[in-house]
Structure 1
Amino acid sequence: MTIDFQIRFPVVDTELSRLHHDAFGGRYECAPWRSRLERHSKSWVGAFSDGQLCGFVHAVWDGGAHAFLLDTAVAPRFQHQGVGTSLVSRIVSDLQTTDVEWLHVDYEAHLADFYSVACGFGPTTAGLLRLK
């Protein structure tokens, strides 16, 4: 299996919406990914197999020294093969070439090994408030 990784690739809303749905479940909705990324994200990385989007991650930026890793998604048939780790590694490398000094990520407990061991994030305490 050959995976091609692309930084700040031209996003197709339907493809990324489908990947997001396949990775996370829930009700499918075509979201305006391209405009959101261009407006709010410092960087994004896609993983492609035979030209098809099979993984994605992006970093939302606060306009200063902090960015926040969001939406790490890998299509189910590509999970547990290092695609997610490679996505995070590539976005970290890209962000290191920018003015971002801190990269934050929040994750559920079952993803602790992925983010802390595989990707190198240190543990922090954070709060979460559901608004809707």
Structure 2
Amino acid sequence: MTTPIIHYQVNKDISDGQLRPLYESVGWISYTDQLEDLSLLLSGSHLVISAWADNELVGLIRTIGDGVSIEYVQDLLVHPTYQHQGIGTTLLSRVKELSTQVRQFLLITDNSSDNQRTIEWYRQQGLVPVAEANIIALWRK
């Protein structure tokens, strides 16, 4: 079996039927259980870059922000079958390239013990914990 070529698109026009299998594949049930139409997530996003293998959505990054003072990575996900092929790196790199003039570029993830590999991967991509950036993140209780 040959590995399909991955194509990337900057496009918010992705249906719930295309998004739902991707979000379910990584276990993001807080999205899939609470929203009837996941495409609503994209309409309010600033940047959406997707990765496709043939007609299957296999990766996605979306940001919220104004593209000037702040760009916040809300979601970055790659279907488990396609992980470790550079798709996440490409998606994050493309968003960073499109955000070079943005003053604040943020991504928040949980600090659980089972997420440490992901945090290390983010560090390898040039992102640092807010404590190292001499800023503070505040959270609503």
TM-score category, normalised to shorter length = 0.7 to 0.9
Answering whether residue 75 of structure 2 is matched by residue 68 of structure 1, we say no
List alignment gaps of at least 5 residues for structure 2.
none
Secondary structure of the structure 2 residue equivalent to 1:11: coil
Which of 87, 90, 93 in structure 2 is aligned with 1:86? 90
Give the structure, 1 or 2, with the largest relative contact order (CA under 8 Å, sep 6 or more): 1
Q: Percent identity of the aligned residues? A: 24
Instruction: Tell me the alpha carbon deviations over residues 10-38 of structure 1, each in whole angstroms, 9 at most, x when there is no partner.
Output: 21122112211111243744543433322
Deviation at 1:62? 5.2
For 1:32, the equivalent position in structure 2 comes to 37
Are the equivalent residues in 2 in contact too, given 1:5–1:45 (CA < 8 A)? yes
- 2:22, 2:139 → 1: CA distance? 26
Q: Work out the CA distance in 2 between the residues paired with 1:86 and 1:63.
A: 19
Q: CA deviation at 1:113?
A: 1.4
> Which of 76, 81, 84 is the equivalent residue of 1:77?
81
1:122 pairs with one of 94, 103, 128: 128
Range that drifts further, 53-62 or 106-115 = 106-115
Q: Report if aligned partners of 2:67, 2:99 keep a CA contact under 8 Å in 1.
A: no
Taking structure 1 as the reference length, what is the TM-score of the superposition?
Answer: 0.80
Contact 2:58 2:78 in 1 (8 A): yes
Structure with max Cα Rg: 2
User: Aligned-pair distance for 1:9?
Assistant: 4.4
For the aligned residue pairs, the C-alpha RMSD in angstroms reads 2.4
Segments of 4+ in structure 1 off by > 6 A?
none
TM-score of the superposition, structure 2-length normalised? 0.75
TM-fit CA distance, 1:65: 0.3
Q: Paired residue for 1:101?
A: 103
Gaps in structure 1 of 5+ consecutive residues? none
1:10 paired with 2:13, answer yes
- Conserved? CA contact 1:43–1:95, under 8 Å: no
